[in-house]
Structure formats: C-alpha cells, structure tokens
Structure 1
Amino acid sequence: MSVYEYVLTQKDFVHKNDLNYPFEERGLQFGDGIYEVIRVYKGRYYLIEEHVERLFRSAEAVKIKMPFTKQDFYHQLDELLQKNKIDTDAKVYLQITRGSAPRDHAFPLSTEANLYAYVQDLPRKEDLMREGVSTITQPDVRWDWCYIKSLNLLPNVIAKQEASEAGCFEAILHKDGEVTECSSSNAYLVKDGKVYTHPAKKNILHGCVRMKVEQFCKEEGIPFIEESFRVEDIQFADELFLSSSTAEVMPIIEVDGKKVKEGRPGPVTRKIQEKYEKDAKIGEEASIFAK
C-alpha cells in the first residue's frame, strides 16, 4: 500500500521522495506530536470537520502552536486529494510535531511546528464487516490522557501486536477488568437492545465514528449508555462491536477464543452499520450487508 506522490508539509506540497526532517526532530525524539487519520470514500472526506476539530483540541492540550487556521487547513487537505487525483477509497494520515530543535525535555516556545500529510489507498474491509472479527483482551497500560491523539502509541502497538500474533483483529483493553476501549478503536457491548460504552473521559479517545454511533443510536431509538462494562460482562453480551475511521463499525464475534452469543453479527450492530453506510454515502448503490 504505497503513499501517493504529493505530501502536504507546513511549507508546501512536496514529492514524497523529497520529504526529510532534521535528526533533532521532537516527534522522533520525544513522540512530541499529534496526529489524525481521516477516511476518504470515492475521493470525498468523511467526518473531516470532526477530525480537524479534534486535531486542534489535541494541539491545545499539549501546547503545540498550529501553523495554520482551521479554514486554511480544510483547503490544504482538499488540495492534497486533488493533487494526487484521488477518486477511490483511501485514508489521509497527518501528523504535527512541535518542530525541530536541540534535544531538551523543556521545549522552546518559538519552535515552528512540523507537518506532513499523505494519502494511501484503503479499500473497505467488507468481508470482515459482514462476518465479524475475533479479539483478545489485554491490560490497558497507557497514560491517562488518551483523549489527546498523540504520537505516544507504544502500548497500543504492543497490544495490537499481541492480537495479531493470536490471529485476531483487535485487542480489547481494560484497567482492572473495566473495559476502556481497543488498541486503535472504541468498544461497545449490546445487551437487551441497549448499547454500552465507556464514558468519553480523558482515559479514552473520543472517536469521531464514536460520535456518529451515538447519533445513529439516538435516531433509531436505541439507548446509548455511556457506562463502562467489565471483561466478565462480555460472556453475557448479546452483541459486541468496535468502531474507528478505518474499521468503520465492526462486529466482534469472538473474545479470547470464546464466541459472543451465537458467534455472528447481531441486529443492533447491523442497523448501525447500515446507518454508517448511508451517512457516509457509500451504500447508495447496494449495501455490502445485503450480499
């Protein structure tokens, strides 16, 4: 999955082969930066406003001075798709670091932020969304400010790798048995027609798709309850699913080798998946769940 030719930086659009930063770059040395992943369907952004808003919230939380206004950035991101002639399903990865400066924990206030944003093709995971995925549980050892979408992702990486080595799609994270979220997605439990998920506090990422799941539930009269559930509650769940910009709304049919209910996606998850397709305008011709 190669990167398209043109990359957006804080200065201009450059060819990907010409992109380089000094070795004294705070993102490399300290993980001193923030990022976003924005979904693109048929050359159109989905939830771009929500992602840009969260990016600016993260920047404010870690005191990074943004090198552009929100409105300017919207135009730059649009131009990024245009320059690369994107008309397929893709994703845009972007990150902003505090900048380049001599290594010191205390950061210089005058440093100019470094930015890059690039595009990669990303087909929908249609088979997985239809059939569901397997997961494992892992202790949540991340820091307490997960609402900031920072570059400090090593605990997430290790948890995801544990899942991969177990032949699973994701790792469900928990602190002392209380489920927080997954390594790169939000987690939900369905019981008696109600959707339960961890409250949007500082110890989880406030997912852009998570906000849409809440909206979809309200539109369909499905109770959306921001109340954490425990690992031991999973065995009694009617359904389980996760959400993220790259996984959309993904059914979980197995956890730690044990089936969730009957081991297939349930009706509440299906309804939210269908709502997602309509909202993103990707199910206009035929829903993948009708196949």
Structure 2
Amino acid sequence: MENLGYYNGEYDLIDKMKVPMNDRVCYFGDGVYDATYSRNHVIFALDEHIDRFFNSAGLLKIKIPYTKDELKEILKEMVNKVDSGEQFVYWQVTRGTGMRNHAFPSDDVPANIWIILKPLNIKDMSKKLKLITLEDTRFLHCNIKTLNLLPSVMAAQKTEEAGCQEAVFHRGDRVTECAHSNVSIIKDGILKTAPTDNLILPGIARAHLITKCKLFDIPVSETAFTLKELVDADEVIVTSSGQFCMTACEIDGQPVGGKAPELVKKLQDVLLNEFLEETKVD
C-alpha cells in the first residue's frame, strides 16, 4: 500500500478512512500521540517512543486498550503493509467516543487507537535552519504530548510566512523549546539544554544527543538558558525524531552559530550511524 490509516483495528489508505464525529478528539483534542520514523520497515527507537506515549496517556488518565508489547506488534505489522520501507510512523490515542460532554465518559467506553503511516525520509542534517523566536503561550503541561497543538500550528504558519523552518518558543527571557522540536546550544564546548520540566517535551532525539555527548566526554548542562545565550551560542542545535541534530544559521534574521562545526559533525555522524545500525536488515 502507498500509505496506511488505522482506527481500532480497521485499516485502509489514509484518504479512505473515516472516524466517528463523536470521537472526543473532534470536540476537545482529548488525546495524546507519538511519532518516529522507519527504515527498511524497521521502526527506530520504538521502545522509547512507546514508553513516552504511555506516560503521556497516564498523565491524562487515558487507559490505552493495549499493553506496550501489543501496541508495538500492531505498529510493526502496519509498517510492513506500506510499500516504502522509509516511513513517518504516527500513532495516537483518544479518550473514547460519546456525545459531547466535557467530563470523562464512563469507564466502559474504550479509548480509540489511530495509526497513520506515510512514506518519508529523515532530514538531511547538513542543511542549516533559519529560525524565528516567539513568546510561548502554550499551557503548563508541555511535557505531555497532547493533541492540543493550535499554538504550534499558529507558530508554524508564522514561521512559513517568515521564510524560515522552525520557531523557538520562550517564556519571557527563558528559552523553552521549538514548535515541533527541542532546541539546545553549544557554548565553549558545553552542550546546554533545557531541563525536562513541565515546560518542554522530553524529546527522544534530545535524549540521544545527550547520550552521545557523554560518549565523547562533551559536558552537558541541563539548565534553562536565555534568549541572549541562544543568539550568542557557538552552535544552535534543533532535535526531533526526523532531524536528529540540525544546526541553525539564522535567528530572527540575524546570523548565528557556525563556530563549532567539527563538534557538530561528530555528533551528527554518530547519531546517523545509530539510526542506520538500528534499522538495518540482516
């Protein structure tokens, strides 16, 4: 199949799938999601993404109708039904189906599982990003990978209108994260990245970046940093599931980074090799 949609055990091409109007996602965005990539029909970092998915659901008291192992098997089965081995692998759970009511439905209403698969490659890390900065107006539970993404949608539109690729959020002077990614900086050989409190999503790619820094004895400081530190950094690094370690060349129209290219290349190479190794076929 060219692509694949899945809803509670039924699947077809994405544009042929239909879901009930009373799925609570339609009224409230009442659910959580996670996503990663596959190569050779092998899903990258699946265990870590599943763990985060279950954690997000638990924080919203959503009962996923499968165990972790059961959901992993469903995802693996679905990935093999798509022709291309390189895919964007997305899944979400919503808090069931019922007439519109803000309060949770009764316990006997099962949650709904969605899966969306489409051909897509990870991004070329040699390319540089242009960024803009925006005040972070999201709610105070950014550590939950919720479906309520309207602030990120608005930020994405502003980013596109500015001819850039990503927006960096900040609360006052504190940098939090990007609209779709985590952001970190390198200064004087030290990686600085925001702490995983309630103001940022604990990114899987961010965690892999930290692990690789420690592998190379690159000091890591998980502390908040400011807008001034961002623009004065030797390198500005954007991480997500599809762009493991991409650097910025511009923020709000001003040139940034480019002062530690060898260090960045070392990290990019080891992160890409990890992806290639985990998703190879024997």
Correspondence 1:213 to 2:245: no
Alignment check: 8 A CA contact 1:4 1:118 kept? no
**1:288 paired residue number:** none
* Structure 2: tracts of 5 or more residues without a match: none
Cα distance change, pair 284–105 in 1 and its aligned pair in 2 (3 A): closer
Alignment check: 8 A CA contact 2:248 2:256 kept? yes
Correspondence 1:278 to 2:273: yes
Shift, 1:16, TM fit: 3.5
Alignment check: 8 A CA contact 2:35 2:88 kept? yes
- Select which of 92, 96, 99 maps to 2:96: 99
In 2, Cα distance between equivalents of 1:142 and 1:96: 21
In 1, Cα distance between equivalents of 2:11 and 2:140: 36
Per-residue CA deviation, residues 154-206 of structure 1 (Å, 9 max, x unaligned), is 01111121111100010000000100000000001110000001001111000
Correspondence 1:266 to 2:264: no
* Letter matched to residue 237 of structure 2: F
- Select which of 252, 274, 277 maps to 1:256: 252
* Letter matched to residue 255 of structure 1: I
In 1, Cα distance between equivalents of 2:45 and 2:118: 17
Alignment check: 8 A CA contact 1:252 1:265 kept? no
* Letter matched to residue 276 of structure 2: K
What is the DSSP-based 3-state SS (H/G/I as helix, E as strand, rest coil) of the residue aligned with 1:115? strand
Shift, 1:29, TM fit: 0.5
**2:22 paired residue number:** 24
Moved over 4 A (4+): 282-285
What is the DSSP-based 3-state SS (H/G/I as helix, E as strand, rest coil) of the residue aligned with 1:280? helix
* Letter matched to residue 106 of structure 1: A
* Letter matched to residue 275 of structure 1: V
In 2, Cα distance between equivalents of 1:34 and 1:173: 21
Provide the alpha-carbon RMSD of the alignment.
Answer: 2.0
Alignment check: 8 A CA contact 2:96 2:105 kept? no
Structural mapping, 1:120-139, within 5 Å: 120-126=118-124, 129-139=125-135
**1:229 paired residue number:** 225
Alignment check: 8 A CA contact 1:188 1:197 kept? yes
**1:157 paired residue number:** 153
Structural mapping, 1:39-188, within 5 Å: 39-87=37-85, 89-109=86-106, 110-126=108-124, 129-188=125-184
TM-score (norm 1): 0.90
What is the DSSP-based 3-state SS (H/G/I as helix, E as strand, rest coil) of the residue aligned with 1:281? helix
Cα distance change, pair 5–235 in 1 and its aligned pair in 2 (3 A): closer
* Structure 1: tracts of 5 or more residues without a match: 286-291
* Letter matched to residue 185 of structure 1: S
Cα distance change, pair 15–255 in 1 and its aligned pair in 2 (3 A): closer
Shift, 1:228, TM fit: 1.2
In 2, Cα distance between equivalents of 1:6 and 1:185: 25
Shift, 1:271, TM fit: 1.6
* Letter matched to residue 221 of structure 1: D
In 1, Cα distance between equivalents of 2:27 and 2:278: 43
Shift, 1:17, TM fit: 4.8
Alignment check: 8 A CA contact 1:34 1:96 kept? yes
What is the DSSP-based 3-state SS (H/G/I as helix, E as strand, rest coil) of the residue aligned with 2:152? helix
TM-score (norm 2): 0.93
